[in-house]
């Protein structure tokens, strides 16, 4: 589903992706999974959203034009 959303964004906005939509979708899923795992390993004390704004800017700048 995420891959499809990325494809639709490319068509809707006419902006190319830096990489294949499948690759970007996989990286975003791995990122989310990693944040959830950190939350669990911290015994639910380290919030999954901690530092998200800065990290998202890095991801966005790397994969989206």
Mean pLDDT by 10 residues, the chain (65 residues): 90 84 93 96 95 92 79
The model's pTM is: 0.78
pLDDT of residue 28: 93
| Residues contacting 55, CB < 8 A, separation 6+ | 31
Give the angle subtended at the CA of 60 by the CAs of 65 and 5, to the nearest 5°.
80
pLDDT of 14: 85
Residue 17: helix, strand or coil by DSSP? strand
pLDDT at 48: 93
What is the pLDDT, as a whole number, of residue 32? 94
> Residue 24 has what pLDDT?
92
What CA–CA distance (Å, rounded) separates 22 from 1? 10
């Amino acid at each position: 589903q995420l891959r499809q959303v990325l494809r639709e964004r490319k068509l809707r906005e006419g902006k190319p992706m830096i990489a294949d939509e499948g690759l970007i979708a996989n990286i975003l899923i791995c990122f989310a999974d990693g944040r959830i795992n950190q939350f669990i390993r911290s015994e639910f004390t380290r919030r999954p959203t901690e530092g998200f704004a800065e990290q998202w800017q890095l991801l966005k700048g790397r994969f989206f034009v």
